[in-house]
Amino acid sequence: MEADYVIVGAGSAGCTMAYRLSEAGKSVIVIEHGGTDAGPFIQMPGALSYPMNMARYDWGYRSEPEPHLGGRRLATPRGKVIGGSSSINGMVYVRGHARDFDTWSDMGATGWDYAGVLPYFKRMENWHDGGHGGDPARRGHDGPLHVTRGPRDNPLTRAFVEAGGQAGYQLTDDYNGEQQEGFGPMEATIWQGTRWSAANAYLRPALKRENCTLVRALAQRVVIEEGRATGVEVVRGSKTEVIRARAEVIVAASSINSPKLLMLSGVGPAAHLAEHGIEVVADRAGVGQNLQDHLEMYIQMAATQPVSLFSHWNLWGKGMVGTQWMLSRTGLGASNQFESAGFIRSRAGVEYPDIQYHFLPMAVRYDGQAAAEGHGFQAHVGPMRSGSRGHVTLASADPAEAPKILFNYMSTEQDWADFRACIRLTREIFGQPAFAPYRGHEILPGDAFQTDDELDEAIKEHVESAYHPCGTCRMGARDDAGAVVDPECRVIGVEGLRVADSSIFPRITNGNLNAPSIMVGEKASDHILGRSLDPLDEKPWIHPAWRVAQR
């Protein structure tokens, strides 16, 4: 078992690199511990609440007790399946705001400013507007990743955007184009009614080439000899073996498992490795640090008319939806039901959006439990740029043991102020005339929660992770003691080893992380191949009165 490049993890970035490196004629072996992504639970977009709650597709991680959330342990799903988390996520497609990437560059990730990453977003996309307008000049049209918009047939879905406009916010017909700020149609990695994961977009075409192989195994450590990564030690069945890399080993195992694998391999904070009896190869203090995520809360309303998806939320209804999808890849099963979006600023003086909305024409939890009231609707809302930072550490030197994950959520005063603003701004949007025909009482948090203290109580009890962990092997300048990889994704202090996935984000981006994770795979591939696309200077829209106005 030997190839030019050995990639650990068949997730969003790993699949992308397998495709690009094999396309360039390099031999590639991809190591993935998870199994097949076949079957309706993953491939049917409408079934999205199932795979992230299924042990066969998910690593099943939980955070340590979170000190600022009353000791709650939050679910931290990561895909353990072909396609990684792109096979179990909500399929929402958000590039991130231009300013997010300019900030990366300011933090030492030279060449990762918006002008530097935009050509890769365009290269990966095959964008379809679905008749809902958009910004075609700023989008890609022949990439492997299909990006589409839902039919937006539900009147609640349209009311949400209308209400945003009535509340005085911008409307945008393409938040992935020039203007992120505002309300408009949501985009998704769905194609012809099927989840268009990184496995469907990138890995399957790559595996058709003779020079790309997939190996089902658990990676235990990177083999580093005389300061150079030469392979990966894996357990396959009951056998331990080494898969050799002639050129490089590339770790793309997620923001939870990538730092874990580096630490098991002797790359990480020296004192922490010594605690677990691991010989230090490279003392990198930043490995496992800088953990970030988005938290969100559902603001749920009862609906006075039977227009929500609740009518289908029973065995018969789900059976009918599933049957229609199996026969024709159409109907409610062909959409993730997140068809309207919003990005707004929490207050004057914030330059670009720091609050995201996912609107859902039903009142339901991520685990698939519907609200007892029946018909309803909800907005998932949360701040985008929390100052809280956590870490991933080893529980032991045993590769089979889960790492310890502490997000340290809500650890700053600003986190609480931002979240209270999210709830109050959402209530104002739901109070607009567009919702008048449908608006019942507030289910969650409920009308009783009004003061700061009352809202804090609701936040503490009800916030959930949006499942966007990142930042644990952050990219930065080579002389930055906290950086783990340089701007070409090379692990500082080890030859022939790179990390390329959401763990390298210096700071979390606006919105869902699947699109920027795939972009990292695209751009890292070019760094590995010693080439790059020319930067594109397309300026983003920034609210002209942002210094003095919230909207």
Q: Please, which residues have CB within 8 angstroms of residue 237's CB and are 6 or more apart in sequence?
A: none
CA pair distance 347, 422, nearest whole angstrom:
10
If asked whether residues 118 and 6 sit together in one domain, one would say yes
Residues 241, 377 within the same domain: no
Contacts 24+ apart (CB under 8 A), 308-314: 308/154, 308/156, 308/361, 308/362, 308/363, 308/375, 308/376, 308/377, 309/154, 309/337, 309/361, 309/362, 309/364, 310/362, 310/363, 310/370, 310/374, 310/375, 310/376, 311/375, 313/362, 313/364, 313/370
| Catalytic positions, written as ranges | 468
254: pLDDT confidence band, cut at 50, 70 and 90? very high
Say yes or no: 245 and 211 in one domain. Answer: yes
Return phi, psi of residue 29, to 5°: -115, 125
Q: Is 92 annotated as a binding residue?
A: yes
314 known member of a binding site: no
Co-location of 211 and 320 in the same domain? no
pTM above 0.95, yes or no: yes
What's the CA gap between 316 and 312, in Å, rounded? 8
pLDDT tens for 265-284 read 999 999 999 999 999 999 99
CA distances from 353 to 98, 313, 317, 392 (A): 11, 34, 38, 28
| pLDDT 10s digits, 93-116 | 999 999 999 999 999 999 999 999
Domain-ending residue, one of 462, 497, 526: 462
**CB 110, CB 93: distance < 8 Å:** no
Joined together, the tokens standing for residue 316 give 């018969």
C-alpha R_g of the chain: 22
Tell whether residue 235 is among the known ligand binding residues: no
Q: Which pLDDT score, from 0 to 100, does residue 131 have?
A: 78
| Phi, psi dihedrals of residue 418, rounded to the nearest 5° | -65, -40
476 and 450 in one domain?
Answer: no
**How many of the other CB atoms lie within 10 Å of CB of 158?**
16
Phi, psi (5° rounding) for residue 354?
-130, 15
Q: Return the percentage of the chain with pLDDT > 70, whole number.
A: 99
Give the CATH number for residue 416.
3.30.410.40
| Separation CA 528–CA 490 (nearest Å) | 9
Residue 366 has pLDDT above 70, yes or no: no
* 211-244: pLDDT as tens digits: 999 999 999 999 999 999 999 999 999 999 999 9
DSSP states of 342-370 as a string? Answer: EEE-SSTT--S--EEEEEESS-B-TTSPB
Asked whether residue 177 falls in the same domain as residue 264, the answer is: no
Name 66's Cβ contacts closer than 8 Å, sequence gap at least 6: 72, 73, 74, 406, 407, 408, 409, 410
Q: What is the CATH number of the domain that holds 488?
A: 3.50.50.60
pLDDT at residue 52 greater than cutoff 90: no
**pLDDT band, residue 53 (cuts 50/70/90):** confident
Q: Is-cis flag, bond preceding 445, omega within 30?
A: yes
Residue tagged 């939050």 (tokens): 74
Average pLDDT over residues 518-544: 98
Mean pLDDT of the chain: 97
Q: pLDDT for 1-48, tens place per residue?
A: 999 999 999 999 999 999 999 999 999 999 999 999 999 999 999 999
pLDDT at site 132: 77
Is the four-CA dihedral 132, 138, 140, 145 of positive or negative sign? negative
Q: Is 54 annotated as a binding residue?
A: no
117-176 residue pLDDT tens:
999 999 999 999 877 789 999 999 999 999 999 999 999 999 999 999 999 999 999 999
The domain containing residue 530 runs over which residues? Answer: 1-65+74-125+191-291+470-537
Does position 401 have pLDDT exceeding 90, yes or no? yes
Known binder of ligand: residue 320?
A: no
Tell me whether strands 464-465 and 295-303 are parallel, antiparallel or unpaired: antiparallel
Same domain, 207 and 119: yes
Domain match, 158 and 170 both: yes
Q: For residue 309, what is the DSSP state?
A: G
